[in-house]
Structure 1
Amino acid sequence: MEPNILDLRHQRCPLALLLAKRHTNGQQQGTNIDILISDPSSMRDITHYLQQHAFTLSCEEKEGYYRMQVTKESC
């Protein structure tokens, strides 16, 4: 299975948040997504949105960006 990666390293809010919403909207339960983000304010906004919408996530800091691992949970 091909990895589900959303690369937002060159995007800033509000566009980064809108793209993350679009990508995660309608995902099936148990779906894993990797989101790559470089903008700290986008990271905060996307994290807040995902926590409010039945996703679990973990984040690790890489060289110059963050890698967020997101899983769609049951509603």
Structure 2
Amino acid sequence: MSDILDLKGLNCPLPVLRTKKAMKAVPAGQTLTVEATDPAAMRDITALCETAGFTLLSAEERSGVFVFEIRQVA
């Protein structure tokens, strides 16, 4: 089961900061779906996953909304 974090309408750096904070509460093996409209989120959230050790399962744009599926590893 995946929770959804709605960050639509927020601008950099809030989407990546709130994603990082929300991932702390996600149990290992569970996923978080993040929705954002800030174009910088694609770069920033991808980089967050790489540096924090989260697994980025998918990242795509759907009608102006960037949708990320992120799995907590630890």
Same fold? TM cut 0.5 = yes
Q: Which amino acid in 2 is paired with 1:47?
A: T
How many residue pairs get matched? 73
Provide the secondary structure at the position in 2 that maps to 1:4: strand
TM-score, scaled to structure 1: 0.83
CA drift at 1:26: 4.1
Deviation string, structure 1 residues 45-68 (Cα, Å, up to 9, x no partner): 121011211211111220111111
The residue correspondences of 1:1-75 to structure 2 (distance < 5 A) are 3-57=2-56, 58-74=58-74
Structure 1: which 5+ runs fail to align?
none
Q: Looking at CA atoms only, which structure, 1 or 2, has the larger radius of gyration?
A: 1
Provide the secondary structure at the position in 2 that maps to 1:27: coil
**Larger % of strand: which?**
2
Moved over 4 A (4+): none
How many percent identity over aligned positions?
34
Provide the secondary structure at the position in 1 that maps to 2:6: strand
